[in-house]
Structure 1
């Protein structure tokens, strides 16, 4: 049991890194616009990330399993550790990178080391969502911004009521986004362990939590710790550096990005679309960082402003490209040491 806890510690580290980086983005705009205090945002995020992870986290994890099903616990440990270390490095530089890209790069590194073929079809689906995620977020941001402007003009609210509704709206959509993040991104944190570990179910009298739900709960708690302890740098980058936003724009940004996360992480929505004989949306872990950045760009385009910080945007884009490659290289090298120096089978 002690060795099991040791091995999943890398997943907990990755969860902490996600909380410090990706999860912070949901309220980064609100905190940056000084509408909500950081502590309030962190509490809301922590509660709803845990709920989303435990109740709806299994959908996106299946896609990662198709990319590479790691059956060795030491191998899963190394993959999660390489991914976490990559995100940690990027966080140190205040760049809102993607844990989705990081874990995918690490899994590909494991595939290369173990001579396990990487499914091109699954990889293509995942990479396409990386492109589609910020684009959809920008589109939703533009649409929601236009609707918001039209609605507020009709209501003619005074400044105090306007601030009240915006703050309330930010809390509601931030909670929704945190739930969606937990449902979508917990696969990045603990998905690699689901095929390599065996845990007894936990009986809580009224209901029973299975192995996967236990792993997802632990990962979500780690995300919460990351939110509280190390998310200020990324919040500052997202909240103010790319584009100066107002409190009302912050509401649109959080709503747009949360909606995108929900689309790619909701098992219930997929079942509904299937029942209606409609095309389904792939359950793929996407990046809240990419969704937030896309939403902020959408706001800038909707307002017709030319004040988007292109230099900062270029640095963030470079981080997105570097993340999977760095994670893949780190995973491959670490797997070599685990296999040949520490004599632990990684596949």
Structure 2
């Protein structure tokens, strides 16, 4: 039992890193624009990211499983630990990077060490979603900006009422974003463990928690701890340093990025689109960092491209590229030590 807890600790460490970095971006613009207090944002994130993880967290985990079938607990420990170290390093640099990038890098590191062939079609699907998600988020932000501008020009809302509506709107879409983040990104935190550990279902009088949901609950709690303890620094990088954002702009960015996360997390939406014969989005863990940065950039372009900190955007882009490479390298070398020094099977 103690050994199992030790192995799971790397997933919890990764969850903490996600909370400190990725999850903070849901409320980054709201906190950066001083419309929502950090303490309020952290509380809402804590509740809804756990709900999203437990209720809707299963979908995206299947994609990661198809990328690389990590088969032992020591190997899963190393993959999650390598991903967490990569994200923590980038967080230390105040860069909003992605646990989605890092866990994929960790899995590929395991594939290279074990000789397991990486499914290139699955990898293309994941990378394609990474590329498309910030573009989609920017598109949503542009559409929302012009829609809200038209509404404000016609509605003649009093400034005090507008301030009130904006604050509550930020809280509502932040809760929606936190739920979507938990549903989409919990696969990064606990996905490598769900196919290995056989945990019996826990039955209550009304609800039944599967073994995977119990792991997702632990991961959701770890994410929440990361939000509370270490996320404020990255919130301010996203919320105020890329460009100056008004309160309404903050609302647009949060809604656009949250909608993007939901699109890649909702099995119900995917089934609905397929039923209508329409193209659907893959259930892939995408980056909340990329989504929110894409939304901020889209908002800036809708306003004419003024005041965007392109130098910082370039630095963030470098972080996105380095994260999976760093995680893959760390994973490969740590697997060697786990196999040959600690004499634990990783294949």
* Common topology (TM > 0.5): yes
Q: What secondary structure does 2:286 align onto?
A: coil
Partner of 1:68: 68
Number of the residue aligned with 1:328? 328
- Quote how far apart the aligned CAs of 1:305 are: 3.5
User: In 1, Cα distance between the equivalents of 2:134 and 2:64?
Assistant: 20
| 1:84 counterpart residue number | 84
Query: What does the per-residue CA deviation read over 1:68-96, in whole Å, with 9 as the maximum and x for residues that have no partner?
Result: 11110000000000000100000011000
Cα distance, 1:274 vs. partner?
Answer: 2.3
Residue 122 of structure 2 is matched in structure 1 by 122
> Counterparts of 2:306 and 2:261 in 1: how far apart (Å)?
27
Report deviation, 1:273: 1.6
**What residue is the counterpart of 2:102 in the other structure?**
102
Distance in 2 separating the partners of 1:305 and 1:334: 44
Give the distance between the partners of 2:152 and 2:48, measured in 1 at CA.
Answer: 29
3-state SS of 2:21 partner: helix
Secondary structure at the counterpart of residue 58 of structure 1:
coil
CA distance, structure 2, for counterparts of residue 23 and residue 101 of structure 1: 14
- C-alpha distance in structure 1 between counterparts of 2:244 and 2:85, whole Å: 30
- CA deviation after TM superposition for structure 1 residue 276, in Å: 2.1
Q: Which residue of 1 aligns with 2:240?
A: 240
Q: Which residue does the alignment assign to 1:286?
A: 286
**What is the deviation of 1:200?**
1.8
In the other structure, the counterpart of 1:338 is: 338
What does the per-residue CA deviation read over 1:301-341, in whole Å, with 9 as the maximum and x for residues that have no partner?
01113211111111100000100000000000000000000
- Indicate the larger mover: 193-202 or 216-225: 193-202
CA distance in 2, matches of 1:45, 1:334: 33
Unaligned runs of 5+ in 1: none
Q: Which residue of 2 aligns with 1:34?
A: 34
Aligned match of 1:153:
153
Q: Over aligned residues, Cα RMSD in angstroms?
A: 0.7
Report how many aligned residue pairs link the two structures: 347
Whole-angstrom CA distance in 2 between matches of 1:274 and 1:183? 20
**Segments of 4+ moved more than 3 angstroms:** none
Which stretch of the first structure deviates more once superposed, 243-252 or 304-313?
A: 304-313
Inter-partner Cα distance in structure 2 for 1:85 and 1:222: 15
Q: How far apart in 1 are the matches of 2:328 and 2:59? A: 24
SS at match of 2:94: coil
Shift of 1:131: 0.7
Q: Which residue of 2 aligns with 1:257?
A: 257
Deviates more, 1:275-284 or 1:290-299: 275-284
Alpha-carbon distance in 2 for matches of 1:343, 1:196: 19
Partner of 2:213: 213
**Match for residue 317 of structure 1?**
317
The 2-side partners of 1:280 and 1:135 are apart by: 16
Write the distance in 1 (CA, Å) between the matches of 2:21 and 2:33: 18
Alignment of 1:183-222 (within 5 A): 183-222=183-222
Instruction: State the TM-score, normalizing by the size of structure 2.
Output: 0.99
- 1:190-223 residue CA offsets vs partner (Å, 9 max, x unmatched): 0000111121211222121011000001000000
Name the CA distance, whole Å, in 2 between partners of 1:275 and 1:293: 32
In 1, the alpha carbon distance for the partners of 2:340 and 2:54 equals 36
C-alpha distance in 2, partners of 1:278/1:315?
37
